[in-house]
């Protein structure tokens, strides 16, 4: 007969040893994890991350500028339409008053024409479609009624157009708010990351940037000729703005963003160009070879064309780079994105 022996239970001492060993293993594991905290990123790593955030902020800035420009354009168009409607309403009132005077004259001479009386009490649109009514009116009255009809149609169309533009304006304002928030979020993240550096690290970075700008300025001296008189004038004006800070959405005179500087520079030269970098890229003559660029040409960077500057000669540009910097000279090779093409205005 087979024996059915119960398995031997571990002794209390053995359980205690196993429990103690497990606890020790957990403690050692925890100590090991705590003993190897993530290392603080280096100055160069922080700079790379900050530069990336600023690039994303500039992308959002150009979209913000586009929405702002659209908003301003819509506001002007709506104002023009509203002025037209007001003038049109005055003209309509004058036409109606003239019909009223005709009715008064008829009344004094012995009564108001039934068809004219009918018009004065309601809308004339239905009446001219009825031959019997038209037959009872004089040619002058028919012409006056037609003018009133036409003016009413114009006003209805203009009011409808204004209504649609007001809806578009509301949508654009919402988009503008979102783009502004995107810019502010990126800038806030960049500032927080930059502030994680020590004072010495910040000073070193600033010194490096200032030295690079000085070197670029020396490279520019005596190099290149302007593409045209107006390009030369735009470039000379941009030089007068060196040292002024970058501020997103700014067009001067105390601060600029990238396209704000270029649009103001050409305005100073008597040439109106669009506000945003993307729109500026659609004007003038495109120049794809860097060797063909001349001083004062617009130069565009990154695949989405969100950055623009003015060519300064010898592979250098003058531009408003990003938040935390000023209008300065810089080598095209250090912009952070590829040169796409130039535009000769």
- Whether residue 305 is contained in a domain is answered as yes
Strand 285-287 and strand 339-344: pairing?
Answer: antiparallel
Options 50, 234, 258, 332, the catalytic residue: 258
- Whether residue 47 is contained in a domain is answered as yes
CATH number at residue 318: 3.90.1720.10
Q: Which residues pair with 317 in a beta bridge?
A: 311, 330
Q: Are residues 150 and 255 part of one domain?
A: no
Q: Are residues 155 and 58 part of one domain?
A: yes
Q: Are residues 300 and 243 part of one domain?
A: yes
Residue 261: closest CA among 214, 248, 190, 108: 248
Is 258 annotated in the active site?
A: yes
- Whether residue 242 is contained in a domain is answered as yes
Counting the structural domains of the chain, the total is: 2
Angle at 236 between CA 343 and CA 231, to 5 degrees: 30
Kind plus residue range of the DSSP H or E element containing 173: helix 139-194
Quote the pLDDT of residue 3.
47
Q: Which residues pair with 299 in a beta bridge?
A: 309, 342
Q: What are 174-182's contacts with CB under 8 Å, separation 24+? A: 175/67, 176/64, 176/67, 176/68, 176/71, 179/60, 179/63, 179/64, 179/67, 180/64, 182/57, 182/60, 182/63, 182/64
Q: Are residues 303 and 258 part of one domain?
A: yes
Q: Are residues 334 and 224 part of one domain?
A: yes
125 Cβ neighbours under 8 A, 6+ residues apart: 149, 152
Computed on alpha carbons and rounded to an integer, the radius of gyration of the chain in Å comes to 37
Q: At which of 132, 162, 194 does a domain end?
A: 194
Is 319 annotated in the active site?
A: yes
Residue numbers of the domain that contains 132: 43-194
Quote the pLDDT of residue 102.
56
Is 4 annotated in the active site?
A: no
Q: At which of 138, 166, 194 does a domain end?
A: 194
- Whether residue 8 is contained in a domain is answered as no
- Whether residue 22 is contained in a domain is answered as no
- Whether residue 13 is contained in a domain is answered as no
pTM confidence score: 0.66
Q: Are residues 237 and 173 part of one domain?
A: no
Instruction: With H, G, I as helix, E, B as strand and everything else as coil, classify residue 301.
Output: strand
pLDDT tens, residue order, the chain (345 aa):
444 444 455 544 444 444 444 444 444 444 444 444 457 788 889 888 988 998 899 999 999 999 999 999 999 999 999 998 998 888 888 877 777 655 555 555 455 455 555 555 555 555 555 444 545 556 766 777 788 888 888 888 988 998 998 999 999 989 889 988 999 999 899 989 989 999 999 888 888 888 888 877 777 766 678 888 999 999 999 999 999 999 999 999 999 999 999 999 999 999 999 999 999 999 999 999 999 999 999 999 999 999 999 999 999 999 999 988 999 999 999 998 999 999 999
Quote the pLDDT of residue 125.
57
Q: Are residues 240 and 150 part of one domain?
A: no
Question: Do 85 and 158 form a contact (C-beta atoms < 8 A)?
Answer: yes
Q: Are residues 211 and 275 part of one domain?
A: yes
Question: Do 162 and 81 form a contact (C-beta atoms < 8 A)?
Answer: yes
User: In the chain, at which residue ranges do the beta strands (DSSP E only) sit?
Assistant: 285-287, 298-301, 307-313, 316-319, 328-331, 339-344
Options 186, 306, 307, 328, the catalytic residue: 307
- Whether residue 87 is contained in a domain is answered as yes
- Whether residue 75 is contained in a domain is answered as yes
Q: Are residues 176 and 59 part of one domain?
A: yes
Options 63, 264, 319, 344, the catalytic residue: 319
């Amino acid at each position: 007969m087979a024996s059915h022996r119960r398995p031997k239970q571990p002794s209390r001492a053995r359980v205690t040893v196993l429990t103690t060993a497990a606890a020790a293993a957990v403690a050692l594991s925890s100590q090991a994890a705590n003993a190897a905290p993530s290392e603080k990123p280096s100055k160069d790593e922080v700079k790379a991350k900050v530069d990336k955030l600023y690039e994303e902020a500039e992308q959002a800035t150009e979209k913000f500028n586009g929405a702002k420009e659209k908003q301003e354009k819509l506001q002007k168009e709506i104002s023009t339409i509203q002025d037209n409607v007001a003038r049109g309403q005055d003209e309509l009132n004058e036409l109606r008053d003239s019909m009223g005077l005709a009715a008064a004259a008829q009344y004094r001479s012995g009564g108001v024409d039934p068809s004219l009386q009918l018009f004065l009490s309601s809308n004339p649109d239905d009446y001219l479609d009825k031959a019997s009514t038209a037959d009872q009116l004089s040619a002058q009255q028919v012409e006056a009624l037609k003018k009133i009809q036409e003016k009413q149609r114009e006003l209805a169309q203009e009011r409808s157009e204004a209504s649609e533009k007001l809806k578009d304006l509301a949508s654009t304002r919402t988009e503008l708010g979102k783009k502004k928030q995107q810019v502010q979020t990126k800038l806030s993240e960049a500032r927080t990351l930059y502030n994680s550096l020590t004072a010495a690290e910040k000073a070193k970075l600033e010194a490096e940037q200032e030295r690079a700008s000085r070197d670029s300025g020396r490279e520019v001296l005596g190099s290149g000729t302007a593409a045209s008189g107006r390009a030369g004038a735009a470039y000379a004006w941009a030089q007068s703005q060196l040292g002024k800070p970058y501020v997103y959405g700014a067009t001067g005179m105390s601060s600029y963003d990238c396209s704000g500087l270029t649009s103001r520079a050409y305005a100073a030269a008597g040439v109106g160009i669009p506000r945003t970098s993307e729109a500026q890229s659609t004007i003038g003559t495109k120049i794809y070879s860097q060797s063909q660029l001349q001083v004062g040409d617009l130069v565009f960077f990154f695949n989405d064309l969100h950055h623009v500057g003015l060519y300064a000669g010898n592979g250098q540009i003058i531009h408003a780079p990003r938040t935390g910097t000023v209008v300065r000279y810089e080598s095209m090779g250090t912009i952070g994105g590829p040169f796409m093409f130039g535009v000769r205005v």
